[in-house]
Amino acid sequence: MPDGKTLDEAKTLAVSIIEISRLIKERKKEAVLANQLIRSGTSIGANLYEAKYAQSTPDFISKLQIALKECYETEYWLDLLQRTDCITEEEYKPLMNKCGSIRRMLIASINTAKSNFN
């Protein structure tokens, strides 16, 4: 099971993603991209939550891998929003750092689960 810290970090990121997406929309910037960011950024924690109740080890690993993919996607949207001046560098950096931290935790959890399964 992913540790509580990973899930807590994912929830914290999701809240920050929702907040920055609101700002993007208030600034009359790319609402479509902000919605994409919300989808991927909140999906990380949702998949970690699902992993807690996985039916098997392969299902557990699959949920973690989906969370990892969503984390990568979130980084993509953040990068795109920053490159197009929809968010500032000061808004971008902490979110990217949080994504990177979660990504490293997910990779470690996936590797541990795989080594314990084989």
Report the percent of the chain where pLDDT is more than 90: 90
What is the band of 87 on the pLDDT scale with cuts at 50, 70, 90?
very high
Please tell me the CATH superfamily of domain 4-117, with its number. 23S rRNA-intervening sequence (1.20.1440.60)
> What is the token pair recorded at 99?
């994504």
The residue type of 25 is K
List the chain domain ranges.
4-117
Concatenated DSSP letters for 63-100? Answer: HHHHHHHHHHHHHHHHHHHHHTTSS-HHHHHHHHHHHH
Cα–chain center distance at 95:
10
The mean pLDDT value for 71-99 works out to: 96
